[in-house]
Amino acid sequence: MKLRVAVAAVALTLLVGAAAASRGAAARANAGTVRITIHYSSFAPDRLDVDPGETVRFVIRNTDPIDHEFILGDEHVQLVHEEGTEAHHPPRPGEVSVPAGETIVTTYTFPNVSGSLIFGCHLPGHYDFGMRGTVTIG
């Protein structure tokens, strides 16, 4: 009887684990590169783990028929862009416009301290729509 319960528990754990795994864990850079796809005004992946001081090359592909942005920084940076007036951004590390259907590359070196940053799009309504992700440094 105990064996049956144990087997059932293991099977259930495996099923639940598989379901949780299908939601996706935070992504890590592969050979220094992270590929991010924008689809239906969402970033995928939307969670990243990096090491302090790591330099990451972001390859951002916009599959939507509308323009987007990839703005990486802390909350202050996000606020500046949310209230900003730049229609398009000159390419700065971690701050790029990603036109409809295009792929843009930006390289960013993370600070040498643990913490977290946000990446988001600040075209009108996009950030409120949920177009954002997090980077955990540490």
Partner 1 sequence: MRNLFARAAALTILTAIMLTAAAGSALACGGLVTPNGTINLLKTTTLAAYHDGIEHYVTSFEFAGEGSEVGSIIPLPGVPTDVIKGGDWTLQRLIIETQQRDLQRTALFSANAEDSGGAQVLLEKKIDALDITVLKGGAIEVGDWAREHGYFLPPDAPEMLAFYAERSPIFLAARFDARRAESRGVQTGQGTPVHIVIPTPNPWVPLRILALGRKASETVQADVYLLTDRRPETLPQAERAKSSDDDQRGLIQEVSEPASGTLLTDLRSDRGMKWLPESGMWLTYIRINETAENLKHDLAIDASGYGRPNPIAAGYPAPSATSWSLLWTAMAAIVAVAFLMAVTDPAVRRQAARVFRP
Shortest distance, position 95 Cβ to partner 1, whole Å: 10
Beta strands in 7-131 (DSSP E): 27-28, 33-39, 42-44, 47-50, 55-62, 68-73, 95-98, 103-109, 115-120
- How distant, in Å, are the alpha carbons of 19, 38, 47, 110, 122 from that of 24? 9, 16, 9, 23, 25
Closest CA to 100 of 60, 59, 61, 65: 65
Position among 21, 31, 65, 76 found at the interface with partner 1 (CB under 8 A): 65
Which residue number, 4 or 23, has a Cβ lying nearer to partner 1?
4
Q: According to the binding rule CB under 8 A, does residue 91 interact with partner 1? A: no
User: Is 86 a residue that touches partner 1 (CB under 8 A)?
Assistant: yes
CB 47, min distance to partner 1, A? 20
* Residue 129 binds to partner 1 (criterion: CB under 8 A): yes
CB 94, min distance to partner 1, A = 14
Is residue 11 at the binding interface for partner 1, with CB under 8 A as the rule?
A: yes
User: Any contact of residue 84 with partner 1 (CB under 8 A)?
Assistant: yes
Q: Specify the DSSP element, H or E, that contains 135.
A: strand 132-137
